Structure 1
Amino acid sequence: MTIVEMAAILIAVAFAVLVGYLVPVLIQVRKTVAESEQLLAKMNAEMPPLIADLRAMSQNLNDLADQARGGVEHAAVLLHAVGEVGESVQYVHDVVRGSGGTLLTNVASMVAGFKAASQVVRERWREEGGHHNGG
């Protein structure tokens, strides 16, 4: 055998070994491609309804956000009104508190005046012995 023949046999054996390794790899690649095609077909069938559901959910979320925004605006108006009522109550409280001492003094003076007047009337009643018709 010559060197050329040995080189040809060596190349043939290497090619056979290479084909032996490549055949299982090519079979696996073919199976993977078939499964990928099935997956893509399934995704093409299921994606449009899923996208429609996502759009509907997004619209519902936007509607809820608008309703919440409106509720917050109404609550802000209510809280502003409550704040104004609180300020009015505070003003009245300050006025009453500031004039409370004067008011209490005036009431006490009036009670003392009524007591003194009723005492004078009773004493005159007793001194004159009965009814007084002004004459």
Structure 2
Amino acid sequence: MNFYRVEQMPGFIKTEMQKIQKAVQPFMKKTVIYRFLAIPLAAFSLFNLAAFLFHASADRESLISAGIFALLAALGLAFFKEAGYQHKQIQKTVHIYMLNRIKKSEILSEERKSSYARQIKEEPFAMRSFVEFLTEEDRRKKMY
């Protein structure tokens, strides 16, 4: 979610986006940390492991070093995979938040709420439908 674009949105949308950001903040923090650790660790280890393969000395010290670099590369790749899992959790949390927010609406009819819920379930990037929902809800709120 582009923070610059959120700042340009109307207040009622900005408020909901801030609530979403607050809900996913723990996952975002973990994702950033895991990726920050994964990329340099895996790259450094794989580079050194490749260098050991080209030198191909079979003494005990080289094998231990190669084993350590292989272990560090595996750890880096595991961090990268965990970052991907955390990213999926972010998407799931946002999705659940949007669906719950639609269900809580007391302004729109059940038919409109189910229509928006269906759109959000079907679309991979459902933010557009959620913004449409918030806009319609705000418009109807102002009518009453």
Provide the TM-score with structure 2 as the length reference.
0.33
Larger Rg computed on CA atoms? 1
User: By percentage of residues, which structure has more helix?
Assistant: 1
Q: Which has the higher contact order (CA 8 A, sep 6+)?
A: 2
Provide the TM-score with structure 1 as the length reference.
0.35
